[in-house]
Chain A
């Protein structure tokens, strides 16, 4: 497996340059917006409680004591502690780690862009993401920067980038033909089973909805222009405020107007999830409650226990200013911009080459 001769980067000079342009454009954009760059530590003494994400750890001796450090899965908690410390608008561009299966779209180490904007709601933040994408595309596709720029098939120089917006309910109505808020469990089980062979024994609605989303919706949205999915069920809210959905642009789902939704959104482009954002939860008690629930889920599933990040809860108690935040997968964005099929094609060294 470890072949000493396999030392040369295989991504090629053009992609390496495009990667550099992408990183530079991101920094330029936030410089112009007056958002400060921060670089919180990759290693932390506490970690996330998410039941579905596994974390890489490392150990080191510190003044004679063995200490476990968690590699960050996203800089979210550290950045929120900075926000609570009074940092103002901040962004971070760097490496994050997840102990996951490596595949076409997943690496155990990848590059994430995460940022927080005080006083912006999720709609304003989505607009800023769109502006960032426009700014990046102008750079990555500009002939002045690199020779042989292969303009993406889908967003050409002539058709301006313009994001689409769909609510979670609308997406299900269009591509699955059901209302995700009111469909019965039996209905979801049948549908999932029919589409994937899995589902009849699953009693968790959200698991079934996520499977249907991945199978039937994800491959069909954002095929040309990037597509925002917003107004998730409250039960899939993670760290989002609940019931912030007030936009009147949801034509199809009058019923779901009364359903509790979370101020969470995702960005999809060319069949891939690129970003996940929230109008951030600022309520410390609610945050603590969700973390306890997640820890319980991990325990029930006999998953590895981790040190809960109580410092985040303490920081929220001191006060997180109203803000929205989003994390964006930079390698995946570069895949889209360079028409690459595998994440290994856009990083300096592929998974088996590091």
Chain B
């Protein structure tokens, strides 16, 4: 299926230079008397690179066979990370290191992730915005120091390192914002 540049909505997925890309923004550019253009802001779904590119309004591109699916993380065999669809199909997919990328540090068993499938294979994974993870290593907590400043590094069960307040101890479960990699609070214990 082909989509013309002027018909591309934000979120549309198209093939550009052989790579699947997501349209982030589409600005209609119409010079006074001439040809209309569309200035697209694109994200390459393979590399994550975001850039702008202009097309004639009539030009069309192939739609990319890209689909986002909710999946639960199961385990890793060292080479692949295995996920299972949560839609009841129990369909399983193995993501390679390229697809998992930096997000490997947010992978927790039984947690739900969005897996972007390209031609049926995992292209990228997106962790939930907030995730709760246990501290496996940090300097001993300073009792009573619950209010003022100061932070220290802590290693979490997934291997991620985050800055945490001084009062945090090993074994505590923390709520982390995966988009910034920052500590939010102690877990509410749900």
A residues sitting closer than 8 Å to B (CB atoms) are 50, 52, 100-101, 103-104, 106, 196-198, 204, 206-207, 210-211, 213-215, 236, 238, 266, 273, 276, 301
Contacts and interface: CB of A to CB of B under 8 A. Distances in A.
B37 A197 contact: no
B32 A266 contact: yes
Given A101-B28, A213-B31, 4 more contacts: A101-B36, A198-B56, A206-B34, A210-B35
A267 to B, nearest CB: 10
B152 interface: no
Nearest to B7: A101
Lowest 5 A-B CB distances belong to which pairs?
A197-B53, A196-B54, A210-B31, A210-B34, A101-B28
A276 B31 CA distance: 11
17 contacts: A52-B33, A106-B30, A196-B53, A196-B54, A197-B51, A197-B54, A198-B53, A198-B56, A206-B34, A211-B31, A211-B37, A214-B31, A214-B37, A236-B33, A273-B31, A276-B32, A276-B33
B28 A106 contact: yes
B35 A238 contact: no
Contacts of B56: 198, 207
A276 B57 CA distance: 22
Contacts of B57: 101
- Chain B interface category by residue count: 20 to 34
A52 B36 contact: yes
B11 to A, nearest CB: 17
B14 to A, nearest CB: 14
B187 interface: no
Contact of B54 (A100, A104, A215): A215
Contacts of A197: 51-54
Interface string B21-35: 000000111111111
Contacts of B6: 101
Nearest to A238: B33
Contacts of A210: 31-35
B55 interface: yes
Contacts of B39: 196
A213 B54 CA distance: 13
A304 to B, nearest CB: 13
Given A196-B54, A197-B54, A100 B32 contact: no
